[in-house]
Amino acid sequence: MNRSTETIASLRDASKRYGKQLALDQVNLELRRGEVLALLGPNGAGKTTAIALMLGIARPDKGEATLFGAAPGSLDARRRIGVMLQTDGVPGTLNVLELITLFRSYYPRPRSVADIVALAGVGSLLKHRYVSLSGGQQRRVQFALAIVGNPQALFLDEPTTGLDIEARETLWATIRQLVGEGCALLLTTHYLEEAEALADRVSVLAHGRVIADGSLEEIRARVSGKQIRCISTLSETLVAGWSDVREVRRKGEWLEITTAQPEPVLRQLLFEDTQVRELEVRRAGLAEAFVEITKEAA
Ligand SMILES: Nc1ncnc2c1ncn2[C@@H]1O[C@H](COP(=O)(O)OP(=O)(O)OP(=O)(O)O)[C@@H](O)[C@H]1O
C-alpha cells in the first residue's frame, strides 16, 4: 500500500465534553496519507465524536484538531474529503442519479457518474427515490456520495452496518482500490474482521481515551496466544475454570477458547468431552486482542 508520513487529519490532546459526559479525554490520533486507520471501541467510546472533531462538525474543548494541516471546516478541506456518517442528511425525495448529479455539482473535479456507479455498485438503484431504498441500499448510496468528489481522504463511520455479505465484500474491494490509489481512510467499525481485512493501523478507544494503538500486527501481538474453536456442549464457566484458559466465548454451538498453552487445554477438552467436533487451532486474531485490551482497560 502507498504510505507516507504526511498527516491528513489529526487530534492532539483533544478533549470534548457534552454536558456531564466526557466524550473524549486527551485523545491523540493521526491519519496519514494512503493508510487505513481503524477506530475501534465499544458503544459510546467516542469514535463518532473523534470523527466529528476531525471534520470540524464539533470543536474540541481542549487540544487541537487538524485537517490537511489547518483547522478543519474550510471549504477547500471539505472538497478534498468524502464522509459517510451514521446520520445521513441526504434529501430523500431525489432519486439516486439526481443525488449523484447534485453532489457532483459541489466539487471542482468530480468523478464521472459511470465511475461512481461502478465503484459503489449502485447501477440498479439509479431511478429509485432515496427514501424508498432499504437500509443497506441507502448505505451504498451514501458511499457513492462520499466518493463523488474524488477524495484524498475518506471518513467512514460504520460504513457496512446493514450491508449483506456480498455488498460488504464489494465495498471492501472498492475501499482497497481507492486506498491503493492513495486515498487515506479513517474507518470506525464494530466488525473486527472488517478492521482486520482493511486496516494498516488500529486505535482502540474506551470511555473517551485511546487505550491501545499501533499497527494491526502490533495490536494482534497483544494477545500472543492461540484460539481453539470447536463444537462442544461443555459450559463456558467450566472451561473458563481450567488452568491456562484466558478467555472463553460461546457462539451458538461453537466454543472459542483463547490460551497461551493450547496443548494441555486440548488434552483436557478431549478428555472432558468425548463428543467434541470440528476442532481447530489458530493464532489469536484482532477479535481476541480487542476483548483482552478492553477488559484490561475496564
Ligand atoms: N450530541 C451529543 N450530546 C450529548 N452526548 C453526546 C453527544 N454525542 C455523543 N455524546 C456522548 O458522548 C459519548 C461518546 O459518543 P460517541 O457517539 O462518540 O461514541 P461511539 O464510540 O461513536 O459510539 P457507537 O459505537 O455507539 O456509535 C457517549 O457517551 C455519548 O452518549
Residue 30 CA: distances (Å) to CA of 14, 187, 201:
12, 12, 10
What confidence score (pLDDT) does residue 219 get? 85
- Let me know the angle formed at the C-alpha of 145 by 79 and 157, rounded to the nearest 5 degrees: 90
Query: Residue 92: its pLDDT value, please?
Result: 87
Give pLDDT, residue 2. Answer: 43
CATH number corresponding to 224-297? 3.30.70
Q: Which residue has the cell 499501533?
A: 214
Q: Which residue numbers in the chain have pLDDT < 50?
A: 1-3
What's the CA gap between 290 and 46, in Å, rounded?
A: 16
- C-alpha torsion 24→19→61→186, nearest 10: 40
Per-domain residue ranges for the chain? 7-221, 224-297
- pLDDT of 292 reads 80
Which residue has the least CA distance to atom 12 on ligand 1?
Answer: 23
Binding site membership of 207 for ligand 1 (Cβ less than 6 Å): no
| Fold designation for 7-221 | Rossmann fold (3.40.50)
Residues 6+ apart with CB under 8 A from 171: 121, 140, 143, 159, 160, 163
Which pLDDT belongs to residue 70? 92
Identify any residues that bridge with 235 across adjacent strands, giving them in sequence order: none
Cα–Cα dist 206/24, whole Å = 9
What 3-state class would DSSP assign to 223?
coil
User: How far is it, in rounded angstroms, from Cα 189 to Cα 196?
Assistant: 11
Strand ranges (E), 44-197: 62-67, 81-84, 153-157, 184-188
Cβ of 254 closer than 6 Å to ligand 1, yes or no, is no
For residue 118, how far is its CA from the centre of ligand 1 (angstroms)? 34
Judge contact between 24 and 169, C-beta under 8 A.
no
What torsion, rounded to 10 degrees, do the Cα atoms 287, 164, 85, 297 define?
-10
The interface pTM score, or ipTM, of the predicted complex is 0.96
The per-residue pLDDT for 1 is: 43
Of ligand 1's listed atoms, the one at least distance from the Cα of 49 is 18
Taking every pair of Cα atoms in the chain, the longest distance, rounded to a whole number of angstroms, is 68
Whether 191 lines ligand 1, by a CB cut-off of 6 Å, is: no
pLDDT score of 237: 95
pLDDT given at position 247: 86
For the CA of 58, the closest atom of ligand 1 is 1
Specify the residue with its C-alpha closest to ligand 1, atom 25.
43
Kindly give the distance from the C-alpha atom of residue 86 to the centroid of ligand 1, in angstroms, as a whole number: 12
User: Which amino acid belongs to residue 248?
Assistant: V
Residue environment code for 145-181, b if the CB has 16+ CB neighbours within 10 A, otherwise e: bbbbbbbbbbbbbbbbeebeeebbebbbebbeebbee
Q: Whose CA is nearest to atom 13 of ligand 1?
A: 23
Atom of ligand 1 nearest to the CA of 46: 18
Find cell 461443555 and name the residue: 234
Residue 235 beta carbon below 6 angstroms from any ligand 1 atom: no
What is the model's pTM?
Answer: 0.83
